[in-house]
């Protein structure tokens, strides 16, 4: 017990002697009635329900015979702790005060101190409107009974609504009153177990919600109003002013114990406020809102219960008394708990009646009490066996009241009952569903479609969308890649069919098969890179995507390496022949070049395998925001969060760097060779220029691929478009530059024999290995010798490597070329 209550008891001891000589009517049993008047939670008109109950109790001859039940006074607790306790102590210490129970004290904060201190006078208390979670504490509130269901019972019902509609976010707007702050804490604790994120907004009771700038967070879509009715009216009005009226976007959860059609009741907080909302404006926000009621109102409101009254009959009489000009109740404000006060009065009367009969019949005090029973008319506001029996009989009370079956659990609280969920629709509250023990059931032919005909509002959680390659781009790149594969097939058929033509032999058809294979792999990789995945099953998508990442990576780099390695080998052969030529130089065949291609490709495969084998560098899908699709919302105003799954993590980018370094080294070698052979002009060596052209193109594209891979990875479609365009440029450039001129020349020369465009004819002899030799007679060699000597004198000591000759009588010049674009030696021309 706190010090305040201790000094309150001390004050009672000092003033207790004033009551010793008091007397009262022997047949009159009194209780103290307490209510909240003029506060945000006004329950004072519940006195009408008490009076209606007393009229029927005292007129029932079989109930409390020889006694009259009444209240000693009706006091105002002001819905505050200190005034409530002060009023109680004033009554209990007043001369001739002799009440044996308390009905009240209005709101929970006012009930708390009275329920805690009352047992020191042997008083039992029956509350008709308190519901705070902390009142369920039997050790602290020993003689406390509660008609109103505990606020804790609302909590699972509210959470059930959240889970049923799959809402994972909610904004809880709380008025800082103990009743609501306790509910907020318990609700958030329960929501956390269900992975529901709650945003807390709170304000003081004397604070205007309109002054709270973040009253409705921008991301908020689901709002729970945890407050008294007047504040709820102000908050809803502010929601209207801030245009939160679209029921497709916003959902509201309220307490169902507010007054019937409470949005039509003028505000008592700011009656002269010119900015207050009309009932229609409030309804424009509330249309479709859900209201949770925990107390068990009879589903049959016309059924007559204790006192021969039905729920409808009671409120008809109640409203008539409030509206009567001659009534003493005419200035009372209506309350929705008047029928609860009616049931609370009946609970006390029934317990007193059982106690009186137990005393009259000489029965013992019962299992929970010891001692001798004192008659009720000898009550003296002390702890006696009689007070223990009154508490015992209250705990056993059970009857059909206006609020349903009235009974109490071991803590003196109304047992849990099915949560009823109402919806504000057509300017009234309609029962649409119920929840009890994890069972959510629609009632009255309702379902999700009728409750939310425009669709269940989103909770504001951004909709996660996995970006894939845009459908239109898929069509474009699939078409281009398919054309590329068809062209590869044409090149393959062309090379194989015309492989014996001189024109085709000069470009080494065996090497061109490697070019066709490499470019085909590049085209196939684009099919995998731009594959239109179905992301509805994200786990399945991720596993498939990772496999495609690996396959496309291998196809990209191996295909590129094979195609470019073939070009590099061709350039190497040109350099090999014309750099320091000598008659004893080893002949390079196609087999030699194939070995070089396989060696180059083997280096790339080795790096790929090593990177795949190391756990830190192997491919792993990483989820990142798609920066191409940011700050987007759907038609309901829900943010759309676009994500992309990248094949590379930060560590695997190290692997990618080594792959590009390897390609870069090959590219540098190719550029050096191209520069070294740039002055070679051989007319029959018919693809030497094309090879150099390809090297320059691939160098530029390789730089573009590196930039795109590392700088634009967060821009999924842009990255894929630029990367795939680079690959397509390389593949088509190689195919077109190598094969298109030959196709055209073969079209012009179906025999494929017009390969020499010089004034000198020569005979070309082809070997099985793919090498070829050009042979001239002595006269041609002598003429060529003279031309070479003239060129030597013009080149300042530089040699023209074009011919060799023998010193003996029968001279023969033989030069072997290994490049597919090799030409006959007698036609070599060099320029400074």
Q: Is residue 456 predicted with pLDDT exceeding 70?
A: yes
* In the predicted structure, residue 801 carries a pLDDT above the cut 50: no
Candidates 597, 640, 630; CA nearest to 510 is 597
pLDDT over threshold 60, residue 772: no
Q: What does the pLDDT read at residue 14?
A: 45
pLDDT at 200 over 70: yes
Contact 604, 561 (CB under 8 A): yes
pLDDT at 580 over 70: no
Q: What mean pLDDT do residues 183-204 have?
A: 93
Q: H-type helices in 296-434, by residue range?
A: 311-323, 338-360, 385-395
Question: What is the average pLDDT across 560-564?
Answer: 89
Mean pLDDT of the region 111-135? 92
Shortest CA distance to 47 belongs to which of 56, 35, 57? 35
What's the pLDDT tens digit per position in 380-433? Answer: 777 788 899 999 999 999 999 998 889 999 999 988 777 889 999 999 999 999
pLDDT over 80 at 164, yes or no: yes
Distance from C-alpha of 204 to C-alpha of 187, rounded to nearest angstrom? 20
Identify the residue with better confidence: 655 or 679.
Answer: 655
Q: How far apart are CA 266 and CA 334, in angstroms?
A: 12
Q: Hey, how many other C-beta atoms are within 10 angstroms of the C-beta on 513?
A: 17
Q: pLDDT category, 700, cuts 50, 70, 90?
A: confident
What gap in Å lies between CA 630 and CA 640, rounded to an integer?
Answer: 8
- Inform me whether the pLDDT recorded for 16 exceeds 60: no
pLDDT value of residue 762:
38
Fold matches, 29-148+300-406 and 152-294+426-461: yes
Q: Token pair of 794, please? A: 């013009």
Predicted confidence at residue 754, as pLDDT, reads 60
Residue 630 or 732, more confident: 732
Q: Give the residue from 555, 585, 554, 588 showing the smallest Cα distance to 571.
A: 588
Assigned token pair, 469? 């390659």
Domain 29-148+300-406 has CATH 3.40.190.10: no
- Mean pLDDT confidence for 606-632: 81
In order of 66, 101, 148, 300, 561, the CA distances from 407 in angstroms are 26, 18, 11, 19, 85
pLDDT (0 to 100) of residue 22 = 53
User: Could you tell me what percent of the chain has a pLDDT over 70?
Assistant: 81
Nearest to 2, CA basis, from 79, 83, 81: 81
Q: What is the pLDDT of residues 336-346, one digit of tens each?
A: 889 999 999 99
The stretch 765-769 carries a mean pLDDT of: 42
pLDDT value for 783: 60
Lowest-confidence region among 204-213, 392-401, 545-554, 574-583 = 574-583
Residue 535, pLDDT > 70, answer: yes
Q: Is the predicted pLDDT of residue 301 greater than 60, yes or no?
A: yes
> What are the DSSP calls for 604-664, one per residue?
HHHHHHHHHHSTTTS---EEEE-TTS-SEE-TTS-EEEEEEEES--HHHHHHHHHHHHHHH
Q: How far apart are CA 63 and CA 55, in angstroms?
A: 12
Mean pLDDT of the residues in the chain: 81
Question: How far is CA 82 from each of CA 4, 88, 126, 182, 724, rounded to the nearest angstrom?
Answer: 10, 10, 20, 19, 77
The pLDDT of residue 759 is above 50: no
CA distance 315 to 799: 121
- Residue 552 preceded by cis peptide, ω within 30: no
Tokens 């109003």 map to which residue?
Answer: 225
Q: Is residue 130 over pLDDT 50?
A: yes
Would you state the pLDDT for residue 6? 46
* Of 762, 772, 753, 755, the residue nearest 826 (C-alpha): 762
Give the per-residue pLDDT at 509.
79
**pLDDT tops 80 at residue 678:** no
Burial status of residue 163 (CB atoms within 10 A of its CB: 0-12, 13-18, 19 or more): middle
Q: What are phi and psi of 238, to 5 degrees?
A: -65, -35
CA dist 550 and 647 (Å) reads: 8
Q: What is the pLDDT of residues 656-667, one digit of tens each?
A: 888 888 988 888
Residue 473 main-chain phi, psi, to 5 deg: -70, -35
Question: Hey, where are the domains in the chain?
Answer: 29-148+300-406, 152-294+426-461, 468-748, 763-830
| Distance set, CA 716 to CA 116, 475, 673, 713 (Å) | 66, 17, 37, 6
Distance, in Å, from the CA atom of 597 to the CA atom of 592, rounded to the nearest integer, reads: 9
Residue with more model confidence, 797 or 357: 357
**pLDDT for res 748:** 78
Q: Please give the pLDDT value at position 33.
A: 95
Percent of the chain exceeding pLDDT 90 equals 35
CATH tag, 152-294+426-461: 3.40.50.2300
Cβ contact 677:578 at 8 Å = yes
Digit-coded pLDDT (tens) for 210-268? 899 899 998 899 999 999 888 999 999 999 999 999 998 999 999 988 887 889 877 65
Sign of the C-alpha dihedral computed for residues 541, 544, 548 and 550 taken in this order: positive
Task: For residue 786, name the pLDDT band (cuts at 50, 70, 90).
Answer: low
What's the CATH fold of domain 468-748? Rhopdopsin 7-helix transmembrane proteins (1.20.1070)
Contacting residues for 412 by C-beta, under 8 A, at least 6 apart: 138, 141, 143, 144, 145, 146, 394, 395
- Nearest residue to 313 via CA among 52, 44, 42: 52
Does residue 354 or residue 300 have the better pLDDT? 354
Q: Is the pLDDT of residue 4 over 50?
A: no
């Amino acid at each position: 017990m706190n010090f305040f209550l201790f000094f309150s008891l001390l004050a009672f001891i000092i003033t207790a002697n004033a009551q010793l000589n008091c007397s009262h009517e022997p047949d009159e049993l009194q209780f103290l009635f307490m209510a909240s008047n003029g506060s945000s939670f006004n329950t004072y008109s519940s006195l009408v329900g008490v009076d209606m109950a007393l009229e029927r109790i005292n007129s029932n001859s079989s109930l409390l015979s020889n006694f009259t039940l009444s209240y000693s006074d009706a006091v105002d607790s002001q819905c505050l702790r200190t005034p409530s306790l002060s009023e109680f102590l004033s009554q209990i210490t007043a001369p001739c005060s002799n009440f044996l129970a308390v009905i009240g004290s209005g709101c929970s904060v006012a009930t708390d101190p009275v329920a805690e201190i009352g047992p020191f006078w042997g008083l039992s208390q029956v509350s008709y409107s308190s519901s705070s979670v902390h009142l369920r504490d039997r050790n602290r509130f020993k003689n406390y009974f509660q008609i109103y269901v505990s606020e804790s019972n609302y909590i699972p019902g509210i959470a059930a609504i959240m889970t049923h509609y799959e809402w994972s976010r909610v904004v809880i707007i709380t008025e800082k009153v103990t009743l609501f702050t306790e509910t907020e804490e318990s609700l958030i604790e329960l929501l956390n177990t269900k992975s529901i994120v709650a945003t807390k907004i709170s304000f003081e009771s004397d604070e205007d919600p309109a002054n709270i700038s973040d009253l409705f967070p921008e991301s908020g879509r689901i709002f729970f109003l945890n407050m008294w009715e007047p504040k709820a009216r102000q908050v809803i009005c502010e929601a209207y002013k801030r245009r939160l009226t679209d029921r497709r976007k916003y959902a509201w959860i309220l307490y169902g114990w507010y007054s019937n059609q409470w949005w039509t009741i003028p505000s008592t907080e700011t009656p002269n406020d010119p900015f207050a909302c009309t009932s229609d404006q409030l309804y424009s926000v509330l249309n479709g809102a859900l209201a949770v009621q925990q107390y068990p109102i009879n589903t049959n409101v016309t059924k007559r219960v204790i006192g021969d009254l039905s729920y409808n009959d009671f409120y008809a009489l109640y409203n008539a008394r409030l509206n009567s000009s001659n009534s003493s109740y005419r200035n009372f404000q209506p309350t929705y708990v008047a029928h609860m006060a009616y049931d609370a009065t009946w609970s006390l009367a029934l317990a007193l009646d059982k106690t009186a009969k137990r005393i009259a019949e000489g029965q013992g005090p019962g299992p929970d009490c010891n001692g001798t029973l004192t008659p009720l008319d000898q009550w003296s506001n002390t702890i006696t066996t009689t007070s223990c029996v009154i508490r015992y009989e209250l705990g056993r009370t059970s009857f059909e009241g206006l609020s349903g079956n009235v009974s109490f659990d071991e803590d003196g609280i109304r047992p849990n009952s099915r949560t009823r969920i109402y919806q504000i629709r057509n300017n009234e509250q309609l029962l649409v569903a119920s929840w009890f023990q994890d069972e959510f059931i629609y009632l009255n032919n309702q379902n999700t479609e009728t409750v939310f005909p425009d669709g269940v509002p989103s909770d504001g959680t951004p909709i996660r969308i996995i970006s894939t390659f845009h459908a239109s781009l898929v069509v474009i790149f699939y078409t281009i890649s398919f054309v590329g594969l068809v062209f590869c097939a044409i090149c393959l058929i062309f090379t194989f069919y015309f492989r014996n033509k001189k024109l085709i032999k000069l470009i080494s058809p065996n090497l061109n098969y490697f070019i066709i294979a490499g470019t085909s792999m590049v085209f196939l990789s684009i099919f995998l890179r731009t594959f239109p995945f179905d992301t509805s099953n994200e786990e399945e998508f991720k596993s498939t995507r990772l496999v495609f990442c690996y396959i496309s990576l291998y196809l990209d780099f191996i295909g590129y390496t094979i195609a470019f390695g073939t070009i590099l080998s061709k350039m190497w052969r040109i350099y090999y022949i014309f750099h320091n030529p000598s008659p004893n130089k080893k002949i390079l065949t196609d087999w030699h070049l194939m070995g070089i291609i396989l060696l180059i490709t083997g280096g790339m495969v080795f790096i790929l395998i090593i990177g795949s084998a190391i756990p830190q560098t192997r491919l792993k899908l990483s989820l990142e925001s798609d920066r191409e699709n940011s700050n987007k919302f759907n038609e309901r105003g829900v943010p759309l969060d676009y994500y992309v799954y990248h094949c590379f993590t930060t560590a695997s980018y190290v692997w990618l760097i080594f792959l590009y370094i390897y390609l870069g080294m090959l590219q540098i070698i190719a550029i050096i060779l191209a520069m070294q052979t740039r002055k070679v002009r051989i007319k029959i060596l018919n693809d030497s220029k094309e090879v150099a052209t390809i090297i320059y193109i691939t160098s530029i594209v390789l730089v573009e691929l590196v930039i795109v891979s590392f700088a634009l990875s967060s821009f999924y479609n842009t990255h894929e478009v630029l990367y795939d365009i680079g690959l397509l440029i390389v593949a088509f450039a190689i195919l077109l530059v190598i094969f298109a001129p030959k196709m055209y020349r073969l079209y012009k020369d179906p025999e494929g024999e017009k390969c020499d465009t010089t004034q000198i004819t020569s005979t070309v002899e082809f070997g099985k290995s793919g090498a070829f030799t050009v042979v001239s007679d002595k006269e041609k060699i002598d003429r060529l010798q003279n031309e070479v000597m003239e060129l030597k004198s013009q080149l300042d000591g530089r040699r023209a490597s074009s011919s060799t000759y023998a010193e003996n009588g029968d001279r023969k010049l033989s030069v072997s070329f290994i490049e597919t674009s090799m030409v006959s030696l007698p036609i070599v021309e060099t320029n400074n």
